[in-house]
Structure 1
Amino acid sequence: MRLPENSVCYRALQSRDARFDGLIYVGVQSTGIYCRPICPARTPKFENCNFYSSAAAAQEAGFRPCLRCRPESAPDLASWRGTSNTVSRALALIAEGALDGAGASVEKLAARLGLGERQLRRLFLQHLGAAPISVAQTRRVLFAKQLIHETQLPMTEVAAAAGFSSLRRFNETFQELYHRPPGALRRKTSASRTGNETGVTLRIQYRPPYDWDSILAFLQARAIPGVELVENGRYLRTVDIDGLCGSVEIAHQPKWQSLCATIRFPNVKSLPAIVARVRRLFDVGADIETIDAHLASDQFLAPLVAQRPGLRAPGAWDGFEIAVRAVLGQQINVAAARRLAGQLVALHGKELPMEQRHHPELIYAFPTPQRLASAASLGLGMPAARQSSLKAVAEATVADPNLFRPLGSIEETVERLRMIRGIGDWTAQYIALRAIRESDAFPASDIGLLRSAEAIKGEKLTAAHLLDRARSWRPWRAYAAQHLWAADPAKQPRQI
């Protein structure tokens, strides 16, 4: 991202302008500390300030994180800035651990994105001011700092959860960066506990506005019985990672401009992956002011944006799960697709042991692709062609574990998905939108989109007409689609 002029950044710092939070960081030469623009500390002199587009850039320049404004709790907007689709995809993969563990490398990350290592490094320096490995290391440190600050996890578990290779390396990093041991950073008032009874609770900040009611209603209408539940203004679901099971519960804390995630899972090393999934599902990384301003500049969309400021494009908990839902929902409405998904889970889902059931209605984990690929019969009351498509999706996922991860352009992504038997353009675009988080995905042939567009324009439209109209909405067509779906006069879009 290209930073505003230094004078503009400094005025934002002086006024503690929350609109710049997550977009700029200031390194203070006189203290060696970097801060968020909303830091409550006394504003430093202009000549002592260096401005950066990411925490990683500030840290790579030799500044250490501020203990007052806590950069680890800033809204993470990097993945949806729209400045570079390649950088956005790379950041999504880094958040899922692409540069963690033995054998991980920038070269392998670049290969997954379809470009050379040198080019990826150049793009990162251009848009984030830091190399990919620095971004990954900064994420690791800041996540560990958040766990220290917000939970009572033992330091050994904090180190493991954040991806440090050893407790010694963890201690050395914090001593070097914060000039004190990790334990000295912990607040005595941290309330979260480590046992399965309460889980680990973390705040995940977003940039307001955030239309919580809309996203919760969206998830409630599609909640798969036994797997998901919306209750008392909270979203709950089961979690299955590498054969281990648990659950996650998400609540809204508008006062803190954050979601509150309570995670109950037996392996702390899975915490970053679970948090990444929460962020993806609830679209907390969206720079929503920028997106809304772009879409509202079009007279066609302006009334819809004004009606629902902060409307998000919900992501997916799991790519395979969304692909299955999309196939189940071909040519039928949301309620019918939900019933079929419930039947599929009851027949093929993994039943959680009693000790891992943290809510009486959450009893299944969604079926794995291996389970559906090997099933002799799916046993669902639906056309044989669609059942065959489900099997094809499962087989393709088993053959390519990276099928639902960012790779190449939106056009390449859609074409790759359409190679699967039974996956047409609508299904491929929908999977790209929700599972792969393509901000420009747009299923123009969707009945709900066409119905809303026709109601606004007052005339009959074809998918080709709508696609042509949507050119000016790029690169945020996924959000334009969400606004059109929300405005669908029939209230039963074919959106699964």
Structure 2
Amino acid sequence: MTVSAAPVETTHRSPRPLLLAETLDQLGRGRGDPCHRVTPDGAIWRTSLMPTGPVTYRLVQTDRHTVACRGWGAGAAEFVTTLPDLLGERDDATGFAPEHPRLADAHRRFPGLRIPRTGRVFEALVPAILEQKVHGIAARASWRRLVTVYGEPAPGPAPEGMRVPPSARVWRGVPSWEFHRAGVDPRRARTVVTAAAVSDRLEEAAGMDPAAALRRLRAVNGVGEWTAAEVAQRALGDADALSVGDFHLAAMVGWSLLGRPLDDPGMVEYLESVRPHRYRAVRLLSVGGYAVKPKFGPRTAVTDHRRH
């Protein structure tokens, strides 16, 4: 906890129903994420590094349409201007009318589910890179260690252990052996450092149309279709960004909607009917309790890259 000035406070009232917890759930990187915490009282605490400085913010849903926000730190005043985007006010589900009964039911039961838009492209990119082709448990441990070591303490009365995501300048200076200690192989480490070197160009993606934004992200060596989609879902509020190449996603979509697994081409073809809401459909399967993927063997072993 660090001492700071009085918080910046605001209340956002949406004309549409809003499910705060479900909307922001995908922004966290596991229970130990130093940048995202949910406390026992249901409050959501997050940190970010805004252009004007670091911010810690606390969000509480007070009724079906209303969220109360408090922010601390030099970036708090700037952050509150972006709160409507974070809460999905730009997200428009108009035209989304899925025919599959499970999707239709979930859409009906959870009208307050939004696709959030943080607007912080590089912040979303680093953890996505760390999650490339490794077990989620290992990737989250890497993120937790690196942010704890290199991130600044969160301003304000943040829960213990919270940190502000490191700046691109800090990521550029992380030594190779520190990535190694965090279990990050050289390929992913190089991609993080390469992206950090062009972070200003990457932030411009927030003002582009979805296709151009994805092209800008994929221009970074080491950033492919999956990684770009993961960033677009969180930073850009892209409701159609489908994580093609995910180890589990295609099989989950297939089992959930067809009762059999699909591969990536099959998933892309099947979800064509809900474009431009393919990511929304995936989120609804999860939030609606319809996400299914049978287990046919033991969990995949976690690879320890520190031994390499």
- In the alignment, is residue 344 of structure 1 matched against residue 152 of structure 2? no
Q: How does 1:7-406 map to 2 (within 5 A)?
A: 198-215=6-23, 217-219=25-27, 222=30, 225-231=33-39, 232-242=41-51, 244-254=53-63, 257-266=65-74, 271=77, 273-288=78-93, 290=94, 294-299=96-101, 301-316=103-118, 318-351=120-153, 356-377=155-176, 378-379=178-179, 380-398=182-200, 400=201, 402-406=203-207
Give the 3 Å change call, closer, same or farther, for CA 214–246 of structure 1 in structure 2: closer
Question: By how many angstroms is 1:205 displaced?
Answer: 2.0
CA RMSD, Structure 1 to Structure 2 (Å): 3.0
**Take 2:126 and 2:42, find their aligned partners in 1: how far apart are those partners?**
26
**Take 1:266 and 1:326, find their aligned partners in 2: how far apart are those partners?**
26
**Take 2:206 and 2:28, find their aligned partners in 1: how far apart are those partners?**
25
Give the 3 Å change call, closer, same or farther, for CA 451–305 of structure 1 in structure 2: farther
- In the alignment, is residue 414 of structure 1 matched against residue 214 of structure 2? yes
| Structure 2 alignment gaps of length 5 or more | 296-308
- Kept in 1: contact 2:129–2:188 (CA 8 A): yes
Higher Rg of the two aligned structures: 1
Deviations 1:38-71 (A, max 9, x none): xxxxxxxxxxxxxxxxxxxxxxxxxxxxxxxxxx
**Take 2:58 and 2:12, find their aligned partners in 1: how far apart are those partners?**
13
Deviations 1:261-310 (A, max 9, x none): 1122347xx62x3024433333244345x36xx23345462243245442
Aligned position for 2:306: none
Question: By how many angstroms is 1:383 displaced?
Answer: 1.8
Aligned residue for 2:80, secondary structure, equals: helix
State the TM-score, normalized to the length of structure 1: 0.52
Q: List, as ranges, runs of 4+ consecutive aligned residues in structure 1 with deviation greater than 6 Å.
A: none
Aligned residue for 1:367, secondary structure, equals: coil
Question: By how many angstroms is 1:345 displaced?
Answer: 0.7
Aligned residue for 2:133, secondary structure, equals: coil
Give the 3 Å change call, closer, same or farther, for CA 425–220 of structure 1 in structure 2: closer
Give the 3 Å change call, closer, same or farther, for CA 321–306 of structure 1 in structure 2: same
AA aligned opposite 1:430: E
Deviations 1:399-432 (A, max 9, x none): x253441324x33322222221111111112212
**Take 2:8 and 2:192, find their aligned partners in 1: how far apart are those partners?**
35
Aligned position for 1:469: 270
AA aligned opposite 2:104: A
Give the 3 Å change call, closer, same or farther, for CA 251–491 of structure 1 in structure 2: farther
**Take 1:451 and 1:221, find their aligned partners in 2: how far apart are those partners?**
22
Deviations 1:446-473 (A, max 9, x none): 3443133211202232211221222221
| Structure 1 alignment gaps of length 5 or more | 1-194
Bigger relative CO (Cα 8 Å, ≥ 6 apart):
2
- In the alignment, is residue 444 of structure 1 matched against residue 249 of structure 2? no
**Take 2:24 and 2:135, find their aligned partners in 1: how far apart are those partners?**
18
**Take 2:144 and 2:227, find their aligned partners in 1: how far apart are those partners?**
20
Aligned residue for 1:301, secondary structure, equals: helix
Aligned residue for 2:115, secondary structure, equals: coil
Deviations 1:202-257 (A, max 9, x none): 111224332334235545563554333211111112343346334211000115x1
AA aligned opposite 2:165: F
Give the 3 Å change call, closer, same or farther, for CA 316–333 of structure 1 in structure 2: farther
- Kept in 2: contact 1:206–1:285 (CA 8 A): no
- Kept in 1: contact 2:17–2:111 (CA 8 A): yes
State the TM-score, normalized to the length of structure 2: 0.79
Question: By how many angstroms is 1:322 displaced?
Answer: 0.8
- Kept in 2: contact 1:440–1:478 (CA 8 A): yes
Give the 3 Å change call, closer, same or farther, for CA 491–405 of structure 1 in structure 2: farther
- In the alignment, is residue 423 of structure 1 matched against residue 223 of structure 2? yes
Give the 3 Å change call, closer, same or farther, for CA 312–334 of structure 1 in structure 2: farther
Larger helix fraction of residues: 1
Give the 3 Å change call, closer, same or farther, for CA 209–246 of structure 1 in structure 2: closer
